[in-house]
Amino acid sequence: MWDPSKGIQIGPVTLHFYSLMFIFSFGLGYILMARIFKNDNVNIKYLEPLFTWTLIGTILGARLGHVIFYQPELFKEDFWSVFLPISTKNGLKFTGFSGLASHGATIALIFTTLYYSFKIIKKNPFWVYDRIGIVVALGGAFVRMGNFFNSEIVGKPVDPNSPFAIFFPQQSSEYGATVPRYPTQLFEAFGYVCLFVLLWILYKKTNKKYQQGWLFGLFFIILWAIRFFVEFLKMPQGDEFIQFAGLNTGQVLSIPFMIAGFVIMIYSKKFKITEAENGKPE
């Protein structure tokens, strides 16, 4: 039975565990990226703008992605809730950003990182993507843990005798009677932690970080493959506006990213650099 409190009560304010998971993901991400910059002999002054643009791209892209792919009716019914953590339906109230989509965050991060790469650090964007992928893999695990605390993105019903059976009573109003379900949030989180460990080992122990784009391509393939296969066990997230051949919206959107990963890995051999070039600009 999984029915925890949704946060820590501090006076009149509730600090939600979901928000804490986001703070942990960005905090650890900053620490990890600082270590990566030091390891690559890149001036730490380039870290602050990377953090800023990554934060903007993640939050704005994830929110827009959710609304576009899963709740487009909000553009008409509650426009300001798309961009602000409020709801104007039935009176003004603070809601936080409820509804974030990883596909949208990924697309936005691609564009904000392009700007950062060309205008700020002046490196091949794949150099930046390779390193962001390591951090994002770990951050994704924290986000899914936040979903678990919120009892959201739950799995399909499962046999009560299954070792994976969990009751999510908080979601009975959305999914009907409380029945045992797969903890798909934990499945994804575990997959992302494994991906982080793999990418970190490859970054530290091999020369693949000098083959710009190789680590990022691998990150894309595995990350979206995890998402694709876990989707088979998930309940639908809102209205499934995109469906094809029995696949749901999350699966259909994951396929182009996996294909892109393969293409990037193939072409990464054209972007090899030396150890000396890796540290520029100083």
Start-to-end CA distance of the chain, whole Å, equals 53
What is the residue-averaged pLDDT of the chain?
86
Alpha carbons 68 and 242: distance in angstroms, whole number: 11
Neighbours of 92 (CB within 10 A): 9
In terms of Cα–Cα distance, which of 133, 132, 109, 122 is closest to 46?
122
CA gap 178, 85 in Å, rounded: 29
Q: How far is CA 186 from the centre of its chain?
A: 14
Predicted pLDDT of residue 95: 60
Look at residue 190 in the predicted model and tell me its pLDDT.
Answer: 97
Pairing mode of beta strands 7-10, 13-16 = antiparallel
- The pLDDT of residue 188: 96
Highest mean pLDDT among 153-157, 224-228, 239-243, 272-276: 224-228
Q: Measured between alpha carbons, how far is 149 from 22 in angstroms, rounded to an integer? A: 12
**Cβ-contact 124, 212 below 8 angstroms:** yes
DSSP β-bridge partners for residue 93: 87
pLDDT tens, position by position, 87-111? 777 777 666 556 667 777 888 888 9
Give the mean model confidence (pLDDT) for residues 151-172: 86
Contact 6, 150 (CB under 8 A): yes
**Whole-number pLDDT of residue 86:** 67
Quote the pLDDT of residue 89.
74
pTM of the model: 0.84
- The pLDDT tens digits of the residues spanning 8-36 come to 777 777 777 877 888 889 999 999 999 99
How many Å apart are CA 151 and CA 154, to the nearest integer?
A: 7
18/144: higher pLDDT: 144
